[in-house]
Amino acid sequence: MIYQNSIEFAKALDRTDPLKTFRNQFHIPKHTDGEEKIYLCGNSLGLQPTNTQKYIQQELDDWAKYGVDGHTEAEHAWMPYHEFLTEKMAKIVGAKPKEVVVMNTLTTNLHLMMVSFFRPTKKRYKILIESDAFPSDKYAVESQLKFHDIDPTDGMILWKPRPGENTCRMEDYEKIIQDHGDEIALVMIGSTNYYSGQSFDLKKITKLAHDKNITVGFDLAHGAGNIQPNLHEVGADFAVWCTYKYLNSGPGSLGGCFVHERHANNPDLKRFVGWWGHDKSTRFNMRKDFSPIPGAEGWQLSNPPILSMAAIRASLDVFDAAGFEKIREKSEKITGFLEFLIDELDNEDIHIITPRNPEERGCQLSIQVKNADKTLFDKITEAGVVSDWREPDVIRVAPAPLYNSYTDVYVFVQILKKVLNEI
């Protein structure tokens, strides 16, 4: 598409945007004067859908009305509540419904998955992870290695950008697999890097690892609701994600988990278990030995928090109505417009560290500002932009397709231009 650097062009794109009405289904933060802020921080916390309060209130009303009988008598019975989320969540991550479950939080799920899928031996005991993975992932990996009495300095292999670069090269991953494949027990990569915004070729990562009999898992914290990971087709062994970023389920809300169907009935997989993962038909016969539900549901521990799930259901209904293909199509278009406008600044101090190829990124652009400090970010914030600062010099900006407009993007760049000229 050929972009133009004008507010008229941005408004024209908004008028023809097939998703334009979905903006009205979210609460947009406002200034004290009532004007809407430019919210470009869905990569950190997504906005609240307008129907979320109604969905949660329904469960509060049913709790008041039924008490414990709400498990079976509520409008959306609590006993199978997580099942109301499964099909729509499976569409978002490209999986079969039986491969997906909403449960726990991201790092809890990551630990549960590594209990099952990181099974080190004397020869094959290392974990490969990208060097600038989100800290929680690195902490989890390090602690799993220590749990198995493996020194992380020996047991963790880091996939690093080359000197002077900000993103990882696939040929370097291939070299690691080629050189160390016989030592690696698990590849655990973030599908979309939180800092650079780089999205990886999940299918190639998985195939190269599987060719060496290495287990593969992905953290989709910045991928779910942003890119289409196609987990079933990719063939990953497992994946985990949160729902409060691009999936708009509220701060600290539940996470999701994927386990490929080839593992659905594997009796040799060790796992930490709880009663909600037990066979539904005998779950309440309390004296039965544990019998896991086939598929991802078998990794559940406890009965889930319904109020959090209600918020997730509210958001998933919006996603389902919009259609993820249209969401992804707009994502590429609106982020491309943002990229074009930043380039139009023609400022040698500005550098986009996120890949230029739309297939190698989601909606986030990470803007590096040479010689800047947080003062720049603070001034942008004072001007009404909600974005995200990452040390030492990066502003993360993520125009979410469901609620951001092309006008948002245009106005943000004008504010950035003005602030840059003032400092």
Q: Say yes or no: 397 and 290 in one domain.
A: no
Instruction: Give the number of domains in the chain.
Output: 2
Report helix, strand or coil for 354.
Answer: coil
Q: Say yes or no: 160 and 282 in one domain.
A: yes
What's residue 292's pLDDT? 94
What's residue 196's pLDDT? 97
Boundary-marking domain end, from 274, 292, 320: 320
Report the share of the chain in percent with pLDDT over 90.
94
Would you say residue 59 lies in a domain? no
Q: Say yes or no: 98 and 212 in one domain.
A: yes
Helices 52-66, 306-322: axis angle to 10 degrees equals 140
Boundary-marking domain end, from 290, 320, 350: 320
Distance CA(246)–CA(189), nearest Å, equals 19
Would you say residue 383 lies in a domain? yes
- Residue 309 sits in a domain whose CATH number is 3.40.640.10
Q: Say yes or no: 198 and 222 in one domain.
A: yes
What's residue 422's pLDDT? 84
Tokens of 25: 């289904």
For 407, the domain range is 7-49+323-422
Q: Say yes or no: 174 and 297 in one domain.
A: yes
Would you say residue 136 lies in a domain? yes
pLDDT digits (tens, 9 = 90+) for 58-68: 999 999 999 99
Q: Say yes or no: 274 and 166 in one domain.
A: yes
What's residue 373's pLDDT? 83
- Residue 32 sits in a domain whose CATH number is 3.90.1150.10
Would you say residue 84 lies in a domain? yes
Would you say residue 75 lies in a domain? no
DSSP string covering 375-400, please?
A: HHHHHHHHTTEE-EEETTTEEEEB--
The ranges of the chain with pLDDT < 70 are none
Q: Say yes or no: 302 and 349 in one domain.
A: no
Q: Say yes or no: 118 and 177 in one domain.
A: yes
Q: Say yes or no: 35 and 101 in one domain.
A: no
Boundary-marking domain end, from 301, 320, 339: 320
What's residue 316's pLDDT? 98
Residue type, 50: T
Tokens of 404: 């951001």
Residue keyed to tokens 């299918």: 203
Q: Is 227 exposed, middle or buried (0-12, 13-18, 19+ CB in 10 A)?
A: buried
Q: Say yes or no: 281 and 364 in one domain.
A: no
Give the residues across from 239 on adjacent strands.
218, 258
